[in-house]
Amino acid sequence: YMSVLTQFPLITKAMTTAMIGMLGDTTAQFLEERVRAKKEGSRIRFRNYDRRRGLAVLGDAVLISGPLMHFAYNILESAIPVAGPFAS
C-alpha cells in the first residue's frame, strides 16, 4: 500500500476513501434494515440494499472527498509540518 501511495497518491487516497465509504454505507444500510425488521417483527432482507445510495457514496468519495482530503492535508502539512525543525 505504501509504495502505491508514494507512486500514485491522489488515486490511492481516492480509492481508499471509496472503499471505506462503501463499507460504512453498507454497514449503515444493514443496520437500518435490522432496525426495520425488528420494528416490524419480520426477517432481515438485505435485498433492499439501495444501490443508488451506494453509488452516490462511491462517487462522492472518488470525485470529491478523497481528492479534497489529499489537497487539504498537503496544505496543512506545509502550514504545520509534522517532521523537521519546526515539528512539535
pLDDT digits (tens, 9 = 90+) for 2-60: 999 999 999 999 999 999 999 999 999 999 999 988 998 888 877 778 999 999 999 99
**Nearest CA among 5, 23, 4, 14 for reference residue 64:** 14
Close Cβ partners of 22 (under 8 Å, ≥ 6 residues apart): 54, 57, 58, 61
> Is residue 85 pLDDT above 80, yes or no?
no
- Residue 57 grid cell: 457514496
Distance between CA atoms of 55 and 29, rounded to whole angstroms? Answer: 13
At residue 11, the pLDDT reads 94
CA atoms within 13 A on the CB side of 66: 23
Roughly how many angstroms between the first and final C-alpha of the chain, as a whole number?
27
Task: For 42, list phi and psi in degrees, rounded to 5.
Answer: -115, -175
Q: Whole-model pTM? A: 0.78
